[in-house]
Amino acid sequence: MVWNPQVALAIFVGITATVEDLARREIPNWIPVAAVTGGLAAAAWTGGWSGFGSSLLGTVLGFLVFLVFYLLGGMGGGDVKLMAGIGAILGAGRMLEASLWTAGLGGIFAVLALGWSALLRRGPKTTPAHIPYAPAITLGAWLSLVPKG
């Protein structure tokens, strides 16, 4: 993996969002705002206007990717905003791959959470009201940054 501002931002934003989502079941607005601001600035610095444009398009694509799930009630608004921030960091070119990784990992995490919930039902009755999605978004973004080939 090549270290650059985008990789550093992806690591910082991913860890911060994951910790917040796991601890509080919420992603504070400052995290996606920092991701979008930092992503646009880093892209402009490293890629000029072309980099800025790719980052801006990545922001829009990242937002739109999960907006449908939010509108259907299957995802929180913080997750959608976080994906927009990740889009700013990764740019348009990596958003498809990051989205696919995120969706696959999210499915795996959901199955694991349901299995865990089923095990807990043998004792006191509990059901997960919300499955934190920031870990899937984070890992999806990070896996899209791994060099292929």
pLDDT at 127: 54
pLDDT at 124: 59
**CB 54 within 8 Å of CB 47:** yes
pLDDT at residue 128 tops 70: no
pLDDT at residue 1 tops 80: no
Q: What is the pLDDT of residues 17-50, one digit of tens each?
A: 999 999 999 999 999 999 999 999 999 999 999 9
Q: Which helix H or strand E contains 42, and what residues bound it?
A: helix 30-71
In terms of C-beta density within 10 A (0-12 exposed, 13-18 middle, 19 or more buried), how is residue 2 classed?
exposed
Phi and psi at 131, nearest 5°, equal -100, 120
* Range of 4-8, 73-77, 97-101 with top mean pLDDT: 97-101
Q: Which residue has the higher pLDDT, 143 or 123?
A: 143
pLDDT at residue 123 tops 70: no
| Dist. CA 122–CA 144, nearest whole Å | 39
Assign residue 13 a region (left: φ > 0; alpha: ψ between -120 and 50; beta: otherwise).
Answer: alpha
| Dist. CA 135–CA 29, nearest whole Å | 17
Q: What is the pLDDT of residues 103-121, one digit of tens each?
A: 999 999 988 888 877 777 7
pTM of the complete model: 0.88
Q: What are the residue boundaries of the structural domains of the chain, listed by start?
A: 5-145
Q: What is the pLDDT of residues 90-100, one digit of tens each?
A: 999 999 999 99
pLDDT at residue 73 tops 90: no
